[in-house]
Structure 1
Amino acid sequence: MTMREAAHPHGSVDQGRGGKRGFVLGMLCFIYVLNFLDRQLVSILAKPIQDSLQISDSQLGYITGFYFALFYCFIAIPVGWLADRTNRVKILSLACGLWSGATIACGMAGTYGQLVAARMAVGIGEAGGVPPSYAIISDSFPRERRGTAMGIFNLGPPLGSALGVAFGASLAAAYDWRVPFYLVGAIGVITAVLVYFLVPEPPRGRFDPAPISAAQARSGQSFGRAIAGFFENRVLALAALASGAANFITYGLSNFATLFLMREKGMTLDQVAIWYALAVGVGMGTGIFVSGKLVDRFAARNKAAYGTIPAASLVIALPFFLGFAAADRWEIALALLFVPLFLNSFFLPATVTFVQGEVDPGARVISGALLLLVMNLVGLGLGPTFVGMASDFFRPEYGGHSLQMAFYAMAPMYLIAALLFLWLARLIKRRGQ
């Protein structure tokens, strides 16, 4: 037995499954695509849904933000604690089946109240999607490759958004806004079954100095102690808060970008399905992948890069975001938007990789859930809600340009988020001294 095998009793299993890492990562990324596609469909189809159900910008902001986040964030904590003690793949599979069934229910909604209830059910299901995936990836890839792996996994949001725009808008334009919900939900149910039978559960802490057994995982920290331990760690708590501020921007923008481009810039659904989909898929996708590579390259030498890389990306993105909101034609607006789409999500691989590397192997799922709690409660819960309420507030004075003013009001959050990430970099650097 080699020294590596002695240090990692699951070494032989790792070698046997080495060829499956790409398959596992691909499946998890596809689930994340569906996760985000389901989450974004209401935003992508905002205009026809508003016309059909007669809902305001504020109501749209609540349903895509606060109502969804309320369940998504808080349910993720007990689900994460349970997943740390049971089979993470099975939890992921069951969650995928639940949110996919709820997505189908969204397409059946005939009133705003019914759509709210269905969206809450989607949030409950999606609470069990991302945190288990973080932990599965962390136990499938060594530390020096986790940034790239997380970057690939986090292609889920841009790919989900791009596919949602392309196929959702195309199907809605050709048939009805309800059809995309039926189709995506059905694909998700099938995927949930495939994951249950095809994705292996990796040994916990396989690439850590002291791997833990299933029995040790079941007897790990109590629920309350796990939560307290995360927030008592100033660096982890600040990483979550900074990510929440950045997520405020990404969700505030993405949940209203399609409506803004159509209502204030004159795009049609067919144009959205092609050009906006390309901008989201290429811009966000390459940005997240590049940021994962940058994290692996620079954080290995200096951990402060987990904070400085996101801070720099947000500062550079701000003037392009303002130009996007001010442009008088959709072609110019979309060209300027490409830069924020590329840079806005640089924080995601950096923060997730940092948090997963800082906590014990037996607490990775709940730590990921707690990160998402703060990140999405601030970002997903408040970002779209703020933009929707601001748009309705500005409507009496600015009329058809109310969303433009709402985006201007959101712009200072770029600087707030950047300052929080610089503070994080400083704490990481001081701790390392």
Structure 2
Amino acid sequence: MTDVNFTPALRAYTVGLLTFIYTANYVDRQIVAILLQSIKLDMGLSDTQLGLLSGLAFAIFYATLGIPIAYLADRVSRKKIIIVSLSLFSVMTIICGFAQNFIQLLLARIGVGVGEAGTSPPSHAMIADMYAPNERATPLAIFALGINIGLLIAFLVGGWVNHHYGWRTAFQVVALPGLLLVVIAMFTLRDPPRGLSDGQEAQKAPPLGEVARYILHNKTLRQLIIGSTLVVTVGYGAIAWLPTYFVRVHAMTTIEVGQILALLIGIGGGIGTALGGHFADRLGKRDVRWNLWLIVILALVGLPFSVGAYLATDATLAIILLAFPVSVGALYFGPTLAMLHTLVRPEMRSLASAILLFINNIIGLGLGPLMIGVLSDYFSTDYGARALPYAMVTSALLALWASVHLWLAASTLRADIENTGQTA
């Protein structure tokens, strides 16, 4: 198979456009985090209800529908699936701004989750089809910048609009760029041939059961999924509650919080994510296990900084301590997906991504924010305003558990890659 029509420039443009789409995805997903305290005061909600809005209600539909959509993406046009999904979650985010009570807002957030389910698995597969196994961590890390750019926009724009015009307007404003991207994608997005980077035609896409069994019987993939899910649980919990933490514990405005978190997570995290993908590819060429060792080392080093930040009684100290963990918080993304797509066959890629994301999100996104909300309500009787920080510390400790599984995944990685016939 040749790649005459898929030039390096076209590959770069495709990764760039998919990254912008993922950015819109993440803005619409996480805008609720900067708005939680305002929504709580306006609707009189508990922290458990806020956890449902930012986590479980969204995650159930986002994660579950990702699998059948990915099943289609391994068989039909991935471009069309991305465009339809982008249109849906943008419209549903606008509808969030019209909600008059908890149930209406919950249903609108579910709609956002349904729409967002169809963008990531096809995007991952398209990128894997454009880049060889030993080059994938970098473009996938660039794609992961959508997390950081999305959070920057959500926190910065969302915080400013919320402060001046209210949380309803904030939902509606941040959704508009997604509709513009729909038009751009319709005319310029190209779907690479399946198996392009492997130098062969991809075989007929297998059924879900076959892909699930393949993953289940692969030692590395089992540990990789467990470890990454625990990392995601910590990350989603922190992202969902950090704005509320600063507003509630340190009496900051949403504008101030938006500016600080945009700087820390948006810019600092973006640099960390991009460099992480670069170093993972570079170190991985010496020993492929560095793709996972790097995640373990940074998770363990970042843990005491996170705990110290949550327990800090001074806002400035909390911000300084958070700088490191939030800068490397999304670094796992590129190497994790690169190893996943290296360990599965080309015709499995969309569905394998969907299975990974299903488990990551049903537990990480679904239970991460909700767990902190429930613990915060539980601790509030004894600890009052300190309940939320103690709940966030409890969540952060899951990084220790995650590190064990990622280390175990690294121990079998080389052997499992050799068994697939891929180049490590």
1:264 aligns with 2:249: yes
- Aligned counterpart in structure 2 of residue 37 of structure 1, from 27, 31, 44: 27
In structure 2, the partner of 1:363 is: 348
CA distance in 1, matches of 2:261, 2:290: 31
Structure 1 residue 233 and structure 2 residue 218: aligned? yes
Matches within 5 A, 1:8-407: 9-14=1-6, 17-212=7-202, 216=203, 219-407=204-392
Question: Separation in 1 of the partners of 2:213 and 2:113?
Answer: 24
Q: Deviations over 1:306-330 (max 9, x none)?
A: 2211110100001100110111121
Distance apart, 1:190 and its partner CA: 2.3
Per the alignment, do residues 81 and 432 of structure 1 end up closer, same or farther by CA in structure 2, a change over 3 Å counting? Answer: closer
Cα offset, 1:237, TM superposition: 2.2
Counterpart-to-counterpart distance in 2, 1:322 and 1:159: 25
Alpha-carbon distance in structure 2 between the residues aligned to 1:252 and 1:259: 12
Q: Determine if contact 2:342/2:417 at 8 Å carries over to the other structure.
A: no
CA distance in 1, matches of 2:258, 2:54: 20
Which consecutive unaligned segments of at least 5 residues does structure 2 have? Answer: 419-424
Separation of aligned partners in 1, 2:58 and 2:65 = 11
Aligned-partner Cα distance in 1 for 2:417–2:147:
33
CA shift for structure 1 position 153: 0.5
Q: Is the 8 A contact 1:106 1:181 kept in 2?
A: yes
Which secondary structure state, in structure 2, belongs to the residue aligned with residue 120 of structure 1? helix
Select the residue among 398, 406, 409 that pairs with 1:413.
Answer: 398
Moved over 6 A (4+): none
Deviation at 1:193, TM superposition (A): 2.5
Cα offset for 1:191?
Answer: 1.1
Work out the CA distance in 1 between the residues paired with 2:377 and 2:3. 58
Kindly indicate whether the alpha-carbon contact (under 8 Å) linking 2:218 and 2:416 is maintained by their aligned counterparts in 1: no
- TM (norm. structure 2) is 0.95
The Cα of 1:431 is off from its aligned counterpart by 4.4
| C-alpha contact (below 8 Å) 1:33/1:157 kept by paired residues | yes
d(CA) in 2 for partners of 1:432, 1:370: 19
Residues in 1 aligned to 2:249 and 2:2: alpha-carbon distance in whole angstroms: 57
Distance in 1 of aligned mates of 2:54 and 2:64? 16
Could you tell which deviates more after superposition, 278-287 or 98-107? Answer: 278-287
One-letter code aligned to 1:423: L
Percent identity (aligned): 32
TM-score (ref. length: structure 1): 0.93
Instruction: Report the residue type matching 2:323 in the other structure.
Output: F
Can you list the C-alpha shifts for 1:84-133, whole angstroms capped at 9, x where unaligned? 10111110111000111110111111100001101111111111011111
Counterpart in 2 of 1:3? none
Deviation at 1:266, TM superposition (A): 1.8
How far 1:408 sits from its partner (Å)?
Answer: 2.0
CA-based RMSD of the aligned residues comes to 1.4
Classify the secondary structure of the residue corresponding to 2:196: coil
Aligned residues: 418
Q: Structure 1: which 5+ runs fail to align?
A: 1-8
What do the CA deviations read for 1:274-325 (whole angstroms, capped 9, x no partner)?
2221111122111111110111011222121222111101000011001101
Counterparts of 2:93 and 2:78, CA distance in 1: 23
